[in-house]
Structure 1
Amino acid sequence: MKRDWDLIRKLLTAIEEEEDFLADSPTQPKWLEQTEEAYITELKAFRTAEGRLFGHLELLLDNGYSEGFEVIRMGDGGFAFSLSAPRLTMAGHDLLDTMRSSKVWEWIKSTANTKGVELSFDAVKALGALALKNVLG
């Protein structure tokens, strides 16, 4: 899975606003009247979309940006999910504050691209601080 910063931003925002951050979860296909080949194609697309969403939620959990839910990788390549009281940690709020403004977020992505810097959690925070310095300037 390739990290998608726009998805991370969307998930952080949804968790903060206590929205259904699983609203875009894909629906597992059912083997109805299609061919086995068509079903397998649908299943692969489902697994890819599921892995993208839950993989990004794992990144938020593993790096201490959110808590109150659990992502479990299943033996069949799928995911299970448990939910208690999802919330952002202080670090999660700080990261989202760096990414919240569309203008600042686009500047961060553009600057990283121009400078040839890969976006990491540390790079996003550092570029966010630079953006703030430029705005306050």
Structure 2
Amino acid sequence: MERNWDLVREIMLNVRELPPRQSLRCTDVEGYDAEVVAEHMYLLEQAGLAEVTMSRSLNGPASGRVNRLTWDGHEFIDLMQSDTQWSRIKESLKERGVDFSFDALKGMAQVLVQGLISG
């Protein structure tokens, strides 16, 4: 499975909008296979961006839910929340031939935000 940054962003945006003590299940994300969503939820946990509960059966697909974003998760998604900003980040990385890694996305987002601030 290849990491899908648009899906990662969508999961995080959806979780951020939830009321306290409510979680996002892998079946709640429309337009994606639930098992793929569950695997991306697991990646969010590995990156320290979210608290996730995963279930795996021996013969069935993985499932999961995101319980909340971590502090770093909120910081990360705050940089990427705007559709315009998200498009700029992806386009800037493509133009420079940079791989879409967590550090590259975060770094480019910070550079673009600094440019907006210093105007």
TM-score range, shorter chain: 0.7 to 0.9
2:99 maps to which residue? 118
Residue 6 (1) aligns with residue 9 (2): no
Contact 2:80-2:86 at 8 Å conserved across structures: yes
Query: Counterpart of 2:33?
Result: 49
The TM-score, its normalising length taken from structure 2, stands at: 0.82
1:73 alignment counterpart: 56
Alignment RMSD (CA, Å)? 2.3
Structure 1 runs of 4+ with >6 Å offset? none
**Which residue, out of 105, 109, 116, partners 1:128?**
109
Greater C-alpha radius of gyration:
1
**Is structure 2 residue 71 aligned with structure 1 residue 90?**
yes
TM-score w.r.t. the length of structure 1 is 0.73
Is the Cα–Cα contact under 8 Å of residues 25 and 53 in structure 1 kept in the other structure?
no
5+ unaligned residues in a row in structure 1: which ranges? 27-47
Aligned residues: 113
